[in-house]
Structure formats: structure tokens, C-alpha cells
Amino acid sequence: MRLAPELRARDGRLISGGPSGVPVHAGSFLRTREIVLESALLDQPVEFARIFLHELFHFVWLRAGNPLRRSWEALLEDELRSGARGELGWSADGRKRRLGPRDRASRSRRWREYACESFCDSAACLLGGAGDHEEFTLARRVRENRRRWFQSLLGRPALRV
């Protein structure tokens, strides 16, 4: 893990400083086993923990295996069928909004990226201790279902929602 100031994403790359690109909090590089976090997060310990956990869970998703990933996708499908709106972070929320009618059925790249970001945002929300956050727009009842899913995965009855 390393820190860098003024992180931005541009053309699929993470850059530090400069005027171009989209500001981001962090990036994970799975092949090189590296997480880069915005250094300004050090002044916000709770937000640092939330962002760090999100990035860390990208590595969990990578190693999770298809049965676990499909179980998570089934949970997401149930949510969408029930009309659940919102998410537990902007990363998943933006991807959820871009899903088309065929993405779920075909398990498109768009769907798989949404599932991954939703998994990572949910883990960060449930394990990070942030309490309420402006990015947590998913209904409490739906959060509770996700909490139970993670609880069964991790065997920890004390997960917070």
C-alpha cells in the first residue's frame, strides 16, 4: 500500500496531481498486489478505513471463486427484482445506474463490474464502522440482507449496518 496526493483516473491509469482526469480516492492493482490511496485521507480516519476496506475487498473478490461470486450476484438479482434502489457507495451506484435490461441475464462485463463494486462497497460499509454516510443510499432492510450474507461468509455475528 502507498499514499499519493491528488489522485486522478485518466485513460485507465491512476495519476497523482495535474488538472486532467477524474478525482478518485484510491486504486487497486491486483496483478502487482498494490493499493494506492489518496494521501489527504490520512486527515479523515473513518473515511480512510472505508476506502481502504473497499480496495482491500477487491483482492477478496479476486480470490473468492465462482460459487461465492454467484451467490453475491443472486443476492443482487433478488434486490433488483424487488425494486431496491440505492447502493452503499458511489462506485457501485454509478455502475448500477448504467445497467441495461440484458446485462444481468448475459452476465455482461458491466454486470460483473457492478457485482464486484457492490461487494466491495458493501464490505466497506458493513466492516468500516462509518455509521451513516451520504453514499449509503440503500434501504436499511436491503442492507440487513447484505449484512446477513456477509455474516454467513465471515461467521461474525457483530457486523453493523
Tell me, yes or no, whether 148 lies in a domain: yes
Tell me, yes or no, whether 44 lies in a domain: no
The residues, ordered by sequence, that sit 6+ positions from 145 with a Cβ below 8 Å of its Cβ are 75, 78, 79
Q: What is the pLDDT of residues 23-59, one digit of tens each?
A: 999 999 999 999 999 999 999 999 999 999 999 999 9
Tell me, yes or no, whether 38 lies in a domain: no
Q: What is the pLDDT of residues 88-98, one digit of tens each?
A: 999 999 999 99
Q: How far is CA 54 from CA 33, 101, 121, 142, in A?
A: 14, 27, 6, 19
Domain containing residue 114:
64-161
Tell me, yes or no, whether 85 lies in a domain: yes
Tell me, yes or no, whether 100 lies in a domain: yes
Residue 157 reports pLDDT greater than 60:
no
The DSSP line for 118-158 is HHHHHHHHHHH---S-TTB-S-HHHHHHHHHHHHHHHT-TT
* pLDDT, greater one: 15 or 161: 15
**Whether the predicted model's global pTM rises above the 0.85 cut:** yes
Tell me, yes or no, whether 91 lies in a domain: yes
Tell me, yes or no, whether 83 lies in a domain: yes
Question: What pLDDT score was predicted for residue 161?
Answer: 46
Question: What pLDDT score was predicted for residue 51?
Answer: 96
Residue 131: band (very low, low, confident or very high) from pLDDT cuts 50, 70, 90: confident
**Structural domains in the chain (count):** 1
Tell me, yes or no, whether 21 lies in a domain: no
